[in-house]
Amino acid sequence: MRGAVVKFRIGLLTAMLAVPVAWAQRPTPQENRTAATQPATRRGGRANQGPAIVYPVDPDSRPQDGVPKGKLEGPTLFHSKIFEGTVRKYWVYVPAQYTPDKPACVLVFQDGQRATNPNFVLRVPQVMENLIAKKQMPVTIGIFITPGSRGEEYKEVGGGNPNNRSVEYDSLGDKYARFLIDEMLPEVAKTYNLTNDPDGSCIGGTSSGGISAFNVAWERPDVFHKVITCIGSFTNIRGGHVFPERVRTSEKKPIRVFLEDTLRDNPNADLRRDWHKQNVLMVAALKEKQYDMTYVYADGTHSDSHGGSIMPDMLGWIWRDYPGVVPRPLKLPNEAKVN
């Protein structure tokens, strides 16, 4: 049986990759200006990704005149009991439209130190501010959490990541979901009125934070119905390469997914550790099971950059039919595959 599964996955991937990628997002002349020309380092069978790309910034990722300003509170230190011996930071974005008499929707985003930085490419609180003002997403509390740092002091090591990131984000099972649901959400709910409706709860992340976001919703669809995963690490870091087959062979869950990836996302001679090929298999599995999902591939490398450039459209799509929301006209190019 195991041999048959492997043959199916390899055969499916071969057939998919033989088809011209006509639905991949093509870079515009502006995007062809490279942000860096340094190739990715070869390690663990990983091939050269080629040059990075600069993508245009959506106006809704920048401050806008006349838009009510929310507030970003934090960072606040938090010591977890579930991940014993770790400390992390978190931020809470509170939109100007929030009132404590009405439960707010929830967006939990991993790698909060990147997602909240106005000088980085994701700029999620700023996108929330603009979309909430346009009613293209509901009034939503944003919770931005870093991975844990082992020890009594919070530290970011090489690459700016705390040293418990892979353990928390890349591991399968429900431990990280329990941390969020049993520790972090109740902590924030001490101050803010958060919804208990899974349709009003979204979780997102990039890279290892992307597979982590999907895994949380997979384990606890009673809490999270909406997922955004960018350049998701559905690879064999800690067994995540099994997810495409797990999606195919498991009962369909009430999850809506926006999956973003780049065409040169960490190529690798080992299929289980090739980021883009594993994302292709995830898309195929989600489509086979008829999930409420969409996806976009763009030319580029393993970077937050493209996901950041379409963050307004991702959030707009994920919230498109929530009560009171005005559907956002998507700005993605015709070549992008949007279901």
Q: What is the pLDDT of residue 45?
A: 53
What confidence score (pLDDT) does residue 283 get?
Answer: 97
Q: Which residues contact 180 (CB under 8 A, 6 or more apart)?
A: 108, 145, 203, 216
C-alpha span between 107 and 130 (Å, rounded): 15
How far, in Å, CA of 201 to CA of 319, rounded?
Answer: 10
153 vs 235: CA distance, rounded Å: 30
- pLDDT greater than 90 at residue 263: yes
Q: What length is written for the chain?
A: 339
Find out whether 243 and 282 touch, Cβ atoms under 8 Å: yes
Q: What per-residue confidence (pLDDT) applies to 259?
A: 97
pLDDT of residue 334: 44
Looking at this protein, which amino acid is placed at residue 71?
K
Question: Which of helix, strand or coil describes residue 43?
Answer: coil
Beta-bridge partner residues of 226? 202, 256
Terminal CA-to-CA distance of the chain, rounded, Å?
A: 33
Closest CA to 126 of 59, 74, 56, 66: 59
The superfamily (CATH) of domain 52-318 is: Alpha/Beta hydrolase fold, catalytic domain (3.40.50.1820)
For the segment 34-76, what is each residue's pLDDT rounded down to a tens digit?
A: 332 233 334 445 568 999 899 999 999 999 999 999 999 999 9
φ, ψ dihedrals at 329, nearest 5°: -70, 120
* Residue range 112-132: mean pLDDT, rounded: 98
> Model-level pTM greater than 0.85?
yes
Q: How far apart are CA 81 and CA 253, in angstroms?
A: 29
Rounded alpha-carbon distances, angstroms, from residue 157 to 113, 119, 121, 147, 237: 13, 20, 20, 12, 19
Could you read off the pLDDT of 297-331 as tens digits, one per residue? 999 999 999 999 999 999 999 999 999 999 999 87
- Contact status, residue 316 vs residue 327, Cβ threshold 8 Å: yes
- One DSSP character per residue, 147-201 reads PPEESSS----GGG--TTHHHHHT--SSHHHHIIIIIIHHHHHTTS-B---GGGE
Domain boundaries defined on the chain = 52-318
* Mean pLDDT, the chain, whole residue set: 88
